[in-house]
Structure 1
Amino acid sequence: MADIDKARETFDRFDANGDGVITADEYSAAMKAMGDHFVTPAIADAIIAAKDLNGDKLLSFDEFWADLNK
Structure 2
Amino acid sequence: MADIESARTIFEQFDIDGDGFVTAAELRQVLAEVGGTDVPEETAQALIDANDGNGDGLLSFEEFWAARQAARNS
TM-score relative to the length of structure 2 = 0.88
Larger Rg: 2
Richer in helix (by share): 2
Find runs of 4+ consecutive structure 1 residues off by over 3 angstroms: none
Aligned residues: 69
Task: Give the counterpart letter for 1:60 in structure 2.
Answer: S
For the residue of structure 2 that corresponds to 1:3, the secondary structure is: helix
- What does residue 40 of structure 1 align with? 40
For the aligned residue pairs, the C-alpha RMSD in angstroms reads: 1.3
- What does residue 23 of structure 2 align with? 23
Identity of aligned residues (%): 46
Q: Which has the higher contact order (CA 8 A, sep 6+)?
A: 1
